Amino acid sequence: MALVTTPRPGVKRFISVDFDLGALRTAGTRYWAFVTILLVGLTLGGLAWGNAMTQGGAAMAMRDAYPWGLWFTNYMYYVGLAAGGLVVYASVHLFGAEQFRPLSRLAVLLAGVFVMMALLGIITDMERPWRAVWMLLTPNPTSPFVYTGSAATLYMIVAFFDLWLLFTGKGGEKLAFRMTLIALPLAIYMHTTTAFVLSMNKSRELWNSAMMVPIFLTSATASGVAVLLIAAYILQHFGILKLTAKMFRSLSTLLATVIIIDLFMLFVEILSIFWPTSAKPGHTMRFSEFLTGRYAFAFVPVLVLGVTAFILLSRRSTRHLPRVQITASALYVIAVFMKRYSLMSMGFAINPLGQYAPPYAPSLTEGLLAIGILSLGMLIVTVSAKVLPLAVPEDEYGHGEALESGRLEPIADGATESG
């Protein structure tokens, strides 16, 4: 028998979702101080975008040698971060990993927000963003950007629709399972086409590699799971979510597994580049710049931080410790961002004519644009943590099923659990 509920005082129901606006009135000073910082970052990003719209490309550090800059690095990075949330959410419905169900709403929220941030990077890079409609009306089927851009947009829509289903319960478990069957292939398609943007460039030697797609997928999944783990600890610290140590152990085990696969693929790529019987002069000359040359500052930390993160999670005796899980996750989140910068730079460090380009550093305008987009994403998650029901009710992950099967009996009103 379904229960008819009415919103509590301070709760407004919109599109069948209860928004607890009253929680904002009771928020503490630290919460509003953090929101104020995010609003300042968002304002600076808006001012930087206005400067870019009026000054054009002169306000950017991107030049002929680097036609793509921080915006493309962040696009690859944010699209990758969205993968972790989907992997955790899909594992609940496809593989029965019920220990991850309490994270399902947070995972889907982060996935949608990260893809939105990636798309905003593309929009803010356009000097005349309103002309993007012509790309939609007259798409070039040979351009990978057509496929990765459309896939990211569809994925964002599917993610937010999935989130609405989780909040409202519309369609039940059956519809959630069907949406997972749609979202998972779409996510793989989105990440694959993003890697194709690089690997399909024949003239950029280090990009033109068959390993580019699987390396992109594994590093995306690892960084996404790492960010989800950190976010879960933060929300649990503030009492928004109630999570078990078993769930964090499972999440850290998943993270360690994906990290070692990602590091192995990267090692195979490096080995094939420098192996004497397979080495190509163009590849070895370019990759040497990232191991011992001017770009070593970006790529060497990828190896150091990645191996360190795996070592921290590989020991069963310490893997369950929160400080170890958080440290390893933070290290790999940084490592993957540096990897994304390195991936972007690998195609431009030495151009097809053999001319060397100095390492790219973003301009102040580009940096403020990135801060503005990051602030917007964090602001959405921060407000959502207060007003949206991110905590999954217990009867949705085991408690209700136990009641129905007769294994547990409901506690009577006024009785204690021990009684």
Q: Let me know: does 227 contact 84? Beta carbons within 8 Å.
A: yes
Burial class (CB in 10 A: 0-12, 13-18, 19+), 200: middle
Q: Which helix (H) or strand (E) holds 161?
A: helix 144-168
330 phi and psi angles, rounded to 5 deg = -65, -40
**Tokens 């910068």 found at:** 341
Give the predicted TM-score (pTM) of the model: 0.86
b/e sequence 227-259, b meaning 16+ C-beta within 10 Å? bbbebbbebbeeebbebeeebbebbbebbbebb
Angle between helices 104-125 and 144-168 (to 10 degrees): 150
* Rounded Cα gap, residues 178 and 308, in angstroms: 39
What's at 83, amino acid-wise?
A
Q: Let me know: does 332 contact 305? Beta carbons within 8 Å.
A: yes
11 phi and psi angles, rounded to 5 deg = -105, 125
Q: Let me know: does 241 contact 250? Beta carbons within 8 Å.
A: no
pLDDT at 399: 41
pLDDT digit of tens for each residue in the chain (419 aa)? 344 455 566 677 777 777 777 777 888 889 999 999 999 999 999 999 998 888 877 788 877 788 888 988 999 899 889 887 788 888 887 777 778 888 888 999 999 999 999 999 888 888 777 777 777 788 788 777 788 888 888 888 988 888 888 888 787 778 878 888 888 888 888 888 888 888 887 778 888 887 888 888 889 889 999 999 999 999 998 888 888 888 898 899 999 999 999 999 999 989 988 888 887 888 888 888 899 989 999 999 999 999 999 999 988 888 889 999 999 999 999 999 999 999 888 888 888 888 888 888 888 999 999 999 999 999 999 998 888 888 777 665 554 343 333 333 333 333 333 33
Residue range 62-361 in CATH 3.40.50.620: no
**Tokens 């996935």 found at:** 111
Q: For the chain, give every domain's residue range.
A: 62-361
